[in-house]
């Protein structure tokens, strides 16, 4: 009996370290989700702050990486087998390319239910390819607005125009007063040129109308069609005339879109207007952001053809999944809720598409009014370059803008873009 007890004690002693080692090994490592997107600088910071509640609640670490060359790098990474878990795509056309190649994970039933509950149908449509939904929208924007230094305008006696003719007269008055009307910059790394495509899209909606715009987006209307050429010519009367744009062509081509508005906030202003989406407030000088309603005014880009009124051009970032894991699904479902956007809305510089959002969360009357304009627009169209096939919208359309401003003939630019359209 004594021998038996000795053997049992020996076994217990021998096994104890094994159990202890096993318990140590079962402590799970922290789960992580990698996200790659186009948010950089202040936008990246605000996105990272917006996901802190998710990390604190779940214990899942979200690692965000942003790049100015996102549109180029994401394709390289995916094709090279190094895709992030999730990517924030600024272009539905890019989403369609990945979906066609079978690279994306479709939304699952619980995420689909959140889309039905929290979004208007248009956003599901924009996140779908051939009837299957892959993307969910998070930060969205309204682009058809002109910003100006409020106090300087009041001192000069300038009044926001309500028609294109009034805008032209205002521009000429500014020039006569010794001022430069516009500040424009289109540099954005691998995405250089997108600012110009936004201008063209806004003008197309105002000169050719939404139906023609839709035919253009789908490829039914050629890029060298008269309607498209006319839109470029309207823009050219502003951009290609050095008296209307601060620094002329060189400033347009070499200045970052986020820095382009800075001449509005010198004393006196070096430029007096800047057309850009609501997100530009996040790039204003800190002292301007702190007193936005006092320092800045904003008006809708005026109608050109009264028949088409004042449409709203918008865009947004949709998140898609490349690597399907439970923690990835959990984060995607968080992004499909107002909770994920609330902190960014409070910080300013972003709008969100959620049906249950609280407009009072936006920090000032300007951004609340822009959010309302987006929701209540009689005509809303998504950014054309984002909807077009990626090789066009995020390719030749962007580079064509650069070539045109740089001196290439308009006919040649439009023909080049048209030839790039997939057959």
Q: Which residues contact 276 (CB under 8 A, 6 or more apart)?
A: 143, 145, 147, 195, 257, 260, 261
Q: pLDDT category, 192, cuts 50, 70, 90?
A: very high
pLDDT digits (tens, 9 = 90+) for 393-416: 989 999 999 999 999 999 999 999
Number of domains making up the chain = 2
Domain identity same for 242 and 322: no
How much is the pLDDT for 376? 74
* β partners of residue 275: 146
What pLDDT score was predicted for residue 369? 87
pTM recorded for the entire structure: 0.76
User: For residue range 335-369, what is the model confidence (pLDDT) as tens digits?
Assistant: 999 999 999 999 888 899 898 899 999 988 998 98
Instruction: Report residue 383's pLDDT band, with 50, 70 and 90 as the boundaries.
Output: very high
Are both 126 and 158 inside the same structural domain? no
Contact criterion met (CB below 8 Å) for 365 and 346: no
Taking the C-alpha atoms of residue 2 and residue 119, their distance in angstroms, rounded to an integer, is 75
295 and 278, same domain (yes or no) = yes
**219-278 per-position pLDDT tens digit:** 999 999 999 999 999 999 999 999 999 999 999 999 999 999 999 999 999 999 999 999
User: What whole-number distance in Å separates Cα of residue 150 and Cα of residue 396?
Assistant: 37
In this prediction, residue 335 carries a pLDDT of 98
Determine, yes or no, domain membership for 364. Answer: yes
Q: What percent of the chain has pLDDT over 90?
A: 78
Cα(405)–Cα(382) distance, integer angstroms: 24
* Digit-coded pLDDT (tens) for 271-304: 999 999 998 998 999 999 989 999 999 999 999 9
Q: Is residue 15 part of a domain?
A: no
Say yes or no to pLDDT of 135 above 60.
yes
Question: Is residue 381 included in any domain, yes or no?
Answer: no
In a domain? residue 4: no
Q: At what angle do helices 397-405 and 194-207 cross, to 10 degrees?
A: 90
Check: CB of residue 142 under 8 Å from CB of residue 370. yes
Residue 34: φ, ψ to 5°: -95, 135
The predicted model gives 157-182 an average pLDDT of: 98
* CB distance 317 to 324 below 8 Å: no
* CATH number where 356 lies: 3.40.190.10
Determine whether 355 is exposed, middle or buried from the number of CB atoms within 10 Å of its CB (0-12, 13-18, 19+): exposed
**pLDDT tens track for 303-324:** 999 999 999 999 889 999 999 9
Q: Is residue 304 part of a domain?
A: yes
User: How far out from the chain centre does Cα 114 lie?
Assistant: 22
């Amino acid at each position: 009996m004594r021998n038996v007890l000795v053997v049992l004690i020996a076994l217990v002693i021998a096994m104890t370290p094994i159990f202890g080692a096993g318990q140590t090994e079962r402590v799970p490592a922290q789960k992580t989700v990698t996200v790659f997107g186009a948010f950089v600088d202040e936008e990246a910071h605000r996105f990272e702050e917006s996901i802190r509640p998710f990390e604190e609640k779940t214990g899942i670490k979200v690692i965000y990486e942003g790049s100015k060359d996102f549109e180029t790098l994401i394709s390289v990474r995916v094709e090279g087998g190094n895709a992030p878990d999730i990517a924030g795509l600024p272009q539905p056309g890019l989403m369609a390319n990945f979906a066609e190649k079978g690279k994306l994970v479709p939304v699952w039933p619980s995420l689909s239910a959140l889309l039905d509950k929290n979004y208007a149908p248009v956003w599901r449509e924009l996140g779908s390819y051939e009837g299957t939904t892959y993307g969910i929208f998070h930060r969205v924007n309204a682009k058809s607005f002109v910003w100006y230094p409020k106090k300087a305008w009041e001192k000069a006696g300038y009044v926001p125009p309500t028609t294109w003719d009034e805008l032209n007269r205002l521009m000429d008055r500014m020039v006569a007063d010794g001022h430069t009307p516009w500040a424009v910059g289109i540099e954005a790394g691998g995405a250089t040129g997108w600012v110009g495509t936004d201008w063209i899209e806004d003008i197309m909606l105002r000169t050719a109308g939404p139906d023609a715009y839709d035919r253009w987006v789908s490829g039914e209307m050629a890029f060298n069609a008269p309607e498209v050429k006319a839109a470029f010519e309207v823009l050219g009367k502003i951009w290609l005339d050095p008296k209307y744009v601060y620094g002329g062509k060189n400033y347009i081509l070499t200045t970052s879109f986020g820095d382009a508005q800075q001449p509005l906030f010198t004393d006196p202003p070096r430029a007096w207007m800047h057309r850009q989406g609501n997100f530009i407030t996040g790039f204003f000088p800190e002292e301007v952001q702190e007193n936005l309603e006092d320092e800045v005014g904003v008006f809708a880009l005026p109608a050109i053809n009264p028949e088409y009124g004042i449409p709203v051009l918008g865009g947004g970032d949709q998140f898609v999944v490349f690597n399907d894991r439970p923690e990835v699904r959990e984060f995607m479902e968080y992004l499909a809720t107002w909770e994920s956007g609330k902190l960014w809305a409070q910080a300013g510089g972003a709008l969100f598409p959620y049906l249950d959002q609280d407009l009072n969360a936006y920090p000032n009357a300007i951004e609340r009014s822009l959010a309302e304009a987006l929701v209540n627009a009689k005509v809303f169209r998504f950014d054309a370059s984002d909807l077009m096939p990626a090789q066009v919208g995020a390719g030749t359309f962007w580079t064509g803008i650069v070539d045109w401003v740089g001196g290439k003939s308009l006919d040649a630019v439009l023909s080049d873009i048209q030839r790039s359209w997939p057959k």
